[in-house]
Amino acid sequence: MNVADSHRLASALEKMGYEPTRQPHHADVIVLNTCVVRQSAEDKAIGRLSSLRPLKDRNPNLVVNLMGCLIGVRGNQKILERFPWVDVVSPPSDPEPLIRYLVERSAKQTSQINQAQINALLDGDIILPKADQGRLVSAFIPIVYGCSHACTYCIIPSKRGIEHSRPYDEILNEVNSFARQGVKEVTLLGQIVDRYGLDLPEPTTLSALLHDLHKIEGIKRIRFLTSHPNWMTDELLEAVQTLPKVCPHIEVPIQSGDDVILKAMRRGYTVNAYRDLIARIRQRIPDVAIATDIIVGFPGETPEQFDNTYALLADLRMDVAHLARYSPRDGTFSARKLVDDVSDAEKTRRFRKLEELQEEIASEINARLLGKTVNVLFEAQKRGRWRGRTPTNKLVFVDSPHDLLGQERSVTIEWTGPWSLIGTLTS
């Protein structure tokens, strides 16, 4: 989501005549777009912000913009008091405060500012930043902002606001624009992406959107994330099954393999309901790759409850498991009402145990591709090798002297590991 927000802001800045620089000390404007979903992300953001102070001291005309979840939709007075030298703060997904500040500063007088002037910079096509023009193969497209589900551990609702879907035509126009600029793959984003369109004046569905996006010339692949077990409908699964451009790659978090913990998290489903969903997905889409999320060390999680999570992961054997150690986030129910009673050492032990299990599972799943031919869409070159992904989101590396950027090619897999594959071009 932050990558998409940054692209939109960069587009508006470049329309104003700004150009990107890789050197902070050369910049006239620095935007720090932040995430606080985990404590480590918040600590990193604050550390980076602190490191910008010497640049501001040396160049008082430097504009520093703090954007994203560290500010949130309700503001963050503590941060403003701690970093008074920040010039502009922007809520998540809202580039207008910075653009307004720069336009007003340029005009010298607020009275000269016309809202239409600002809208012209923010509306219309997102022009890819110069650094990405002709190079960006895969783009992120937010389709649902915010979240109203309010899991007890999650900071997203208070930082990004209530759930609201983007207008249908606005999304189609944006994807068409990206396609004209050479983008081959789009990933639709939402905290609960399956709920797209239910709140629009003329309600629609993610499935309907996928059908229309599938018609856009130039787009080769479509993905969506993240799904919620309660909102993954048979209609959506049918769209994945029947639309060739929609990748057979589903991200649907479980978070815990124990019903008591799931209830404490307010996830709204049981382990058996999740098992049934995974079985239904695999029945409808035989070659599907499924990713899940798991939090270890949630308040009150006993060793036996963790063992239930371990057993579930061992049984379901997902392609990917995104693992996290619970950290209390200010403003969440769990931080206010629940005792963080699992030690850091025990959280780490549980994390490592699941990590080792998932490495074993992923190694086994990927080994089935050894000697097989797969389609790979190449995204970039890294350390002399071309990097791309299969429709099921497997990372593949290939040696080739040719420019493969944006090409979808057949690759025979010659080596497999838990996190990536290596192959040779067959076409």
For the stretch 280-313, pLDDT in tens is 999 999 999 999 999 999 999 999 999 999 999 9
Strand bridging mode 63-68 / 29-34? parallel
Phi, psi angles (nearest 5°) of residue 7: -60, -40
- Beta strand segments in 35-82, E: 63-68
Residue 49 CA to residue 180 CA, distance in Å, equals 36
- Beta strand segments in 96-184, E: 138-142, 144-145, 164-165
Predicted pLDDT at 116: 74
Query: Could you tell me where in the chain the CATH 2.40.50.140 domains are found?
Result: 373-425
| Token pair of 286 as six digits | 């035989």
- pLDDT-derived band at 108 (thresholds 50, 70, 90) equals low
pLDDT digits (tens, 9 = 90+) for 211-237: 999 999 999 999 999 999 999 999 999
Name the burial class of residue 279, with classes exposed (0-12), middle (13-18) and buried (19+) by CB atoms within 10 angstroms of its CB.
exposed
Does the reported pTM lie above 0.95?
no
- Find residue 396's DSSP bridge partners: 388, 421
The mean-pLDDT minimum among 35-39, 120-124, 317-321, 380-384 falls in: 120-124
Whether the CB-CB separation of 36 and 70 falls below 8 Å is answered with yes
CATH 3.40.50.12160 fits 2-122, yes or no: yes
pLDDT digits (tens, 9 = 90+) for 173-207: 999 999 999 999 999 999 999 999 999 999 999 99
Residue 95 CA to residue 6 CA, distance in Å, equals 8
Query: Could you tell me where in the chain the CATH 3.40.50.12160 domains are found?
Result: 2-122
Looking at the domain covering 373-425, what would its CATH class be? mainly beta
Looking at the domain covering 248-367, what would its CATH class be? alpha beta
Whether the CB-CB separation of 225 and 196 falls below 8 Å is answered with no
